[in-house]
Amino acid sequence: MSRLRPYLTATDGDVESAVRLYSWNIEISSAFYGPLHCLEIGLRNSLHDRLREHHGRDDWWHAAPLRPESRRKVEDAQRKARRARAGRRPVLADDVVAELTFGFWVSLLSTTADRHFWVPTLHQAFPAYRGSRRDLHHPLFTMLLFRNRVMHYEPVHDRPLANRHATTYRLLGHIDQGLVDLARSLDRVPEVLARRPGPGRAN
């Protein structure tokens, strides 16, 4: 019953309505998976490609001026990559990249990133974007928090879901129109939003 508590609160204690909302929360989270996948992988690949070109090596993290927290995340990714390969072959740079989290990539666009990352190279990872790093980092960080709720099976029914959906596509468009088209081919969010159970909420 503790799992249902947020849903009971949202439905004024009506158990039947809470169960319906809980089921719908699972469905809408699942519907977001495709677009969020495209955003996470698209961001990762675009940033990695620019940093690889800038530093002239696939394992650019050995040359880049990463903060201690980011360097620890790289070390964690290297350990995970080694465990996953279990000595069957050497760990490649692409293996490490695949283990780095969405949070790691978003952090490369944070307030400390201007001089070492954004100005020299990472602005090129968003060819259709003409704004500031700050105005790009904020929606990316918002989507990181939302993505974590989705992937950790947390309630998202009380989030501005139509806004999160639109933000996903705006960010994808900054990176590559092809990602927009791919995400739309996987997207069930509008359909699921349209049949939310119970009284409507602001989206």
* 8 inside domain: no
Reply yes or no on whether the pLDDT at 200 is more than 50: no
* 79 inside domain: yes
Q: How far from 25 is each of 18, 170, 181, CA to CA, in Å?
A: 10, 23, 25
Predicted pLDDT at 201:
46
* 27 inside domain: no
pLDDT digits (tens, 9 = 90+) for 87-118: 788 999 999 999 999 999 999 999 877 889 99
Reply yes or no on whether the pLDDT at 76 is more than 50: yes
Task: Give the domain extent around 64.
Answer: 33-186
* 159 inside domain: yes
Residue of 11 and 85 predicted with greater confidence: 11
Q: Which two tokens stand for residue 178?
A: 């092809």
Global pTM reads 0.92
* 75 inside domain: yes
* 11 inside domain: no
* 200 inside domain: no
Q: What's the whole-number average pLDDT of the chain?
A: 94
- Dist. CA 139–CA 125, nearest whole Å: 16
* 115 inside domain: yes
Q: Are 138 and 145 in contact (CB under 8 A)?
A: no
Predicted pLDDT at 203:
42
pLDDT digits (tens, 9 = 90+) for 48-57: 999 999 999 9
How many folded domains does the chain comprise?
1
Average pLDDT (62-84) is 95
